[in-house]
Amino acid sequence: MPKEGNILIVDDNKELLIALKLYLGPHFKKVVTEHNPNRIKEHLGKENYDIVMLDMNFKAGINNGNEGLYWLTEVHQHDPELAVVFITAYSDVELAVRAIKKGAADFIEKSWDEHKILSTLRSVYQLQKSKRDITHLKKKQKHLKEVINHQHDLFIGQSDSMLQIMGMVNKVAPTDVNVLILGENGTGKEVMARTIHQLSARKDEMFVSVDLGAIHDNLFESELFGHLKGAFTDAKSDRTGRFELASGGTLFLDEIGNLSLAAQAKLLAALQNREITPVGGSRPIKVDIRLICATNMPLQQMVAEGTFREDLLYRINTIALELPALRKRKDDINGLAQFFLAKQSDKYKKGQLRLTVPALEALKQQNWPGNIRELQHTIEKAVILSDASVIDVDDLFLNANDLKVLDEDCFNLGDHERLLIEKAIKKCKGNMSKAAMKLGINRSTLYDKIKKYEL
């Protein structure tokens, strides 16, 4: 059985340090000793420890334990969850209770009782390990709920093009190879990524989705790699990065074509080394992820233009899947429409709604420049506005999708902004960089507005 647990022992008695290291060394993974308490933070900055064994008194003639309590506070400022076991030469119950009330995990005497020392430390280590596991699970809880909530969103389709793609997915999913998903906006790239995750050996672990188009460059490292409290002005507490959250599972990086060259370099280093270092930290953290990326941008062309790193492209596209636009898989439109109808009817508590045959045919005849996302919004709008149990052609408001002009008496800035954004995206055929340039804004602002107007 491999040894577990890193222990830092801090005591001014050098002979005791030698004895404890010799005795505990065979039982724990790492045992480090230090006689100077002023170097505690230096040690904690270099290594992750599970337990700190700490002397109650470092100055001769002083036995009130105040020094030990001071260093306990210092240790917990660095890591509130780090277990501290006090060492004292005095069998003082009151002092022991005081130390434990201040946050100590346990208390042992310097009188040499090997069995008691070992059993105490093992118990503290197991408790510490359980606490860290619980903390880690709590950090993942929000993302796990998100994954569960998305399980019913998976609809692939039965058109020839999608059956061909799913044939490849069924071969690729059980492996851990990196996958790059290509396709226009709204073609279901995230749904496909979740499908690959659900068909993989990692299906019981995390699926963490990151919209890189919505992350500003100066927040890239903090979002993906995490940060420590105090790393920058707004870092009020430690933050776990998306890489660490996804460790053991799947990391989905959407809109990867929108990354700056500087961010691409940082991402490449993390993927090559399979480790990340939080902002403000000095210790790298190993991560085990299955990477899936997606974009609507021409990465090969961007490599030729020097706006996307060739080595990063090779790293992310071991397997490339290109999802067809909805206009090229019209056999799936009826199935998707029925799927969204059931979902939205349940969401808005509208009972058992159904689409008429003419309504389904009208949906099939649309060009759908916004692809599946546009179809979903069309069905959602029809469900919200429906007063009957049947949705007919007129209830779909399909002419509204033509994006012609607003009423001349409309002076609502939001309506006009939404219209301009829709027109720009349509004109640029879903290329967000070109659309943002045409609108005179940057990509991240465009993505913020797309979310605002639910485009």
Cβ contacts of 63 within 8 Å, gap of 6 or more: 56, 57, 89, 90
Question: In angstroms, what CA-CA distances link 135 with 51, 81, 252, 283, 450?
Answer: 17, 9, 23, 19, 35
The torsion defined by the Cα of 341, 344, 345 and 350, in degrees rounded to 10, comes to: -140
The listed CATH number (3.40.50.2300, 1.10.8.60, 3.40.50.720, 3.40.50.300) that belongs to domain 327-452: 1.10.8.60
Residue 104's closest CA among 73, 129, 78? 73
Q: What is the pLDDT of residue 289?
A: 95
Instruction: Name the DSSP class of 96.
Output: H
Q: Are strands 6-10 and 51-55 parallel, antiparallel or unpaired?
A: parallel
- Structural domain spans, the chain: 6-133, 154-324, 327-452
Q: What is the pLDDT of residue 152?
A: 47
Structure tokens at 304: 């030729």
Structure tokens at 215: 């992350």
Handedness of CA 69, 72, 76, 82 (dihedral sign): negative
- Fold match between 6-133 and 154-324? yes
Give me the residue label for tokens 């946050």. 103
E-assigned strand segments in 13-64: 30-34, 51-55
Classify domain 6-133 at the CATH class level: alpha beta
Taking a C-beta distance cutoff of 8 angstroms, is the pair 132, 81 a contact? yes
User: Exposure pattern of 166-202 as b/e (b: 16+ CB <10 Å)?
Assistant: beebeebbeeeebbbbbbbbbbbbbbbbbbbbbebeb
Residue 334's closest CA among 77, 155, 154? 155
pTM over 0.75: no
Give the up-direction half-sphere exposure of residue 207: CA atoms within 13 A in the CB hemisphere.
25
Question: In angstroms, what CA-CA distances link 243 with 207, 224, 253?
Answer: 11, 6, 10
Tell me the mean pLDDT per 10 residues along the chain, length 455. Answer: 84 88 90 91 87 79 70 86 80 70 81 80 82 64 52 70 94 96 93 94 91 90 90 82 93 95 95 93 90 95 96 96 94 93 91 93 92 92 89 83 52 74 78 82 83 78
Q: Give the chain's end-to-end CA distance (angstroms, integer).
A: 55
Taking a C-beta distance cutoff of 8 angstroms, is the pair 53, 7 a contact? yes
Q: What is the pLDDT of residue 402?
A: 46
Phi, psi of 203, rounded to the nearest 5 degrees: -60, -25
CATH 3.60.60.10 fits 154-324, yes or no: no
Q: Read out DSSP for 269-304?
A: HHHHHTEE--BT--S-EE---EEEEEESS-HHHHHH
